Chains A and B, each alone.
Chain A
């Protein structure tokens, strides 16, 4: 494996959690719900995935439990915002605060311990393709899932009747309700899907990216994922591009730090966050584009007449 390949590989590994969390949130937002608790769901997924992998010795079980934890955790958010119609912004924040606290308690006894990494699975034949083989076809399972999810979600949203219903609910929940489309049930499912994706992103962090448990190891990725959804104007393939772009920024600044570039490391570390702001500004300054693409009911509570 040459140096270019190695760099690209690290970029892909850095991009995968962003991609997973963002594609999950994309589905949630397409249904008209804004879940700002992505950060909390990621870190909960990470803590549980690490603990389960460590205790059972099986990283696959860990990853599965990470995803399930994310989904279960998102149910809390769903119950408040969908059943009790609370403010989505504040509820999402409380999910993040709670997640950071709970994960710290779960992970406390694992601090400093070596993790159980997920190994690569080489896909026969394809993985021996020169250059791209080792990059695309000799990866861990979560990477494969992330790619499948991007295309799966794209197909679901734009090619299936259920996906059409989900988009319709995000566009106008009153109309959808009047036609008999189950607004709240669909949103619950979307929120749980988003939670599972965020949980899996967390599992990737502690089983692949850095196989150990560190407190607050999500380090703002949930928020970057939220920004990526806006950046991708709610379209899966653009989110894919955005996630890899951010992966590149993250890895780029790490390499620059390692090479001892004469810029203070703190400034390099701030790059992904600054890049997020710049990208948001560039996208949202085009009001027409954002207006046409933002789900019209995003963030609004819905109480049906009965």
Chain B
């Protein structure tokens, strides 16, 4: 048997909508097989992985806290990917955003007032954008592959943060723990409804970012420019759009949003800097972006789904004794299935059972 593809003349509207759902279904099926192979009851495992976290108010709040950074980063990346720029260093930009935004509460703890938090947010976005500008500059100026350069900068950012919190920025009263001083109250992202749970304004950022980016991509000439250059630089040049300006726009936009996610995370959830501030949000966001089909509204939903795999991973660890790495496995599988199912949008897939010899020379 072999599989043949036949290009559709028009994209299939049916599969454009259903392919993410199909991918989710396949991931759950794969989950059943994995749990079964690990000797766990697949259904109770799936329940504690995907359903249990949704049954309590507390964990719903946790879900928004985990989803917000994923959504914010992924929305930025979707613009980047649509323009055919491959920023896979969002994790590093997240860290640099967090560091830049933390300058005020860590180094100037006496600077207190309502202006601190907005300043931190702006500095966080600038920090992320500045760090993302490096691969953009190298790509436009020296033709350097942005995938590799942006990724290498992740390792550098992680080591830089490690150095800061163990060295210059370490809390002087912190008994040598590798962390900065705790943020003062003016530097903490407030909770939306404190009486209900810890969901903070990071989730509001996620909603705003999603809607604004959706509007830009759907209705503004800038969004059109992003799509055109992403599909053909030559057609983009014919339209009078500059590809190198687009490289900068895409990287600065996605870097700024990664930085926003970074500062929201440290000021909202962690409230200080420590050697590790992200469970890989910058990488998971890549999956979120694709699962959301690079559409901000889709990404919002996809961010919630992926956040669930984090909570599910923790739950599975506690309740059924599975390693938390299972969350990574699910995420990787999900991206595989999403990509595979997206093929159905542009192609008809045919299974051909006869004639095993097709390609190639005489045999």
Instruction: Specify which of A84, A105, A274, A277 is in contact with B5 (CB 8 Å cutoff).
Output: A84
Q: Is the CB of A94 within 8 A of B335?
A: yes
Q: Is the CB of B7 within 8 A of A303?
A: yes
Q: Is the CB of A223 within 8 A of B151?
A: yes
Interface residue A252 (Cβ < 8 Å from any Cβ of B): no
**Bound Cα distance A274, B148 (Å):** 11
Residues of B within 8 A of A223 (CB): 148, 151-152
Which of B120-128, B256-264, B322-330 lies at the interface?
B322-330
Q: Is the CB of B332 within 8 A of A184?
A: no
The 8 A CB mask of A78-99 against B (1 = contact, 0 = none) is 0010011111011101110111
The winner among B7, B151, B287, B347 for most chain A CB atoms within 10 A is B151
Interface residues of B in 326-362 (CB under 8 A from A): 326-333, 335-336, 339-340, 342-343, 347, 349, 358-361
Known: A227-B148, A285-B142. A266 touches B162 (CB 8 A): yes
Interface residue B290 (Cβ < 8 Å from any Cβ of A): yes
Instruction: Specify which of A36, A91, A266, A280 is in contact with B144 (CB 8 Å cutoff).
Output: A280
Instruction: Please give me the residue from chain A that is nearest to B139 by CB atom.
Output: A284
Q: Is the CB of A97 within 8 A of B328?
A: yes
Interface residue B147 (Cβ < 8 Å from any Cβ of A): yes
Interface residue B204 (Cβ < 8 Å from any Cβ of A): no
Instruction: Specify which of A101, A183, A270 is in contact with B332 (CB 8 Å cutoff).
Output: A101
Instruction: Please give me the residue from chain A that is nearest to B166 by CB atom.
Output: A266
Q: Is the CB of B329 within 8 A of A102?
A: yes
Instruction: Please give me the residue from chain B that is nearest to A226 by CB atom.
Output: B148
Interface residue A181 (Cβ < 8 Å from any Cβ of B): yes
Instruction: Specify which of A84, A287, A304, A306 is in contact with B143 (CB 8 Å cutoff).
Output: A287
Q: Is the CB of B360 within 8 A of A180?
A: yes
Q: Is the CB of A105 within 8 A of B325?
A: yes
Nearest-Cβ distance from residue A18 to partner chain B, whole angstroms = 14
Q: Is the CB of B286 within 8 A of A90?
A: yes
Q: Is the CB of B335 within 8 A of A101?
A: no
Nearest-Cβ distance from residue A264 to partner chain B, whole angstroms = 5
**Bound Cα distance A184, B358 (Å):** 11
**Bound Cα distance A85, B343 (Å):** 7
Interface residue B153 (Cβ < 8 Å from any Cβ of A): yes
**Bound Cα distance A306, B3 (Å):** 12
Known: A97-B335, A101-B329, A182-B360. A267 touches B323 (CB 8 A): no
Instruction: Specify which of A83, A98, A269 is in contact with B159 (CB 8 Å cutoff).
Output: A269
Instruction: Please give me the residue from chain A that is nearest to B362 by CB atom.
Output: A180
Residues of B within 8 A of A280 (CB): 138, 144-145, 148-149
B interface SS class: helix
Interface residue B163 (Cβ < 8 Å from any Cβ of A): yes
Interface residue A281 (Cβ < 8 Å from any Cβ of B): yes
**Bound Cα distance A47, B286 (Å):** 25
Instruction: Please give me the residue from chain A that is nearest to B339 by CB atom.
Output: A86
Nearest-Cβ distance from residue A129 to partner chain B, whole angstroms = 39
Q: Is the CB of A267 within 8 A of B163?
A: yes
Residues of A within 8 A of B162 (CB): 266
Known: A101-B327, A303-B347. A281 touches B142 (CB 8 A): yes
Q: Is the CB of B145 within 8 A of A91?
A: no
Interface residues of A in 208-231 (CB under 8 A from B): 220, 223, 226-227, 230
Instruction: Please give me the residue from chain A that is nearest to B289 by CB atom.
Output: A90
Q: Is the CB of B339 within 8 A of A184?
A: no
Q: How many residues of B contact A (CB 8 A)?
A: 53
Residues of A within 8 A of B156 (CB): 270, 273-274
Q: Is the CB of B360 within 8 A of A86?
A: no
**Bound Cα distance A175, B147 (Å):** 29
Q: Is the CB of A95 within 8 A of B332?
A: yes
Nearest-Cβ distance from residue B141 to partner chain A, whole angstroms = 8
Residues of A within 8 A of B329 (CB): 98, 101-102, 105
Interface residues of A in 93-113 (CB under 8 A from B): 93-95, 97-102, 104-105, 108
Q: Is the CB of B323 within 8 A of A108?
A: yes
Known: A91-B336, A101-B332, A220-B152. 12 other contacts (CB 8 A): A84-B3, A84-B5, A94-B287, A97-B283, A97-B331, A100-B325, A101-B326, A101-B330, A105-B325, A227-B152, A281-B149, A285-B142
**Bound Cα distance A280, B45 (Å):** 46
Interface residue B36 (Cβ < 8 Å from any Cβ of A): no
Residues of B within 8 A of A226 (CB): 148
Q: Is the CB of A266 within 8 A of B287?
A: no
Q: Is the CB of B339 within 8 A of A90?
A: yes
Q: Is the CB of B359 within 8 A of A182?
A: yes
Interface residues of B in 62-106 (CB under 8 A from A): 86, 88
Residues of A within 8 A of B166 (CB): 266
Interface residue B160 (Cβ < 8 Å from any Cβ of A): yes
Residues of B within 8 A of A274 (CB): 152, 156
**Bound Cα distance A105, B82 (Å):** 34
Interface residue B109 (Cβ < 8 Å from any Cβ of A): no
Interface residue A172 (Cβ < 8 Å from any Cβ of B): no
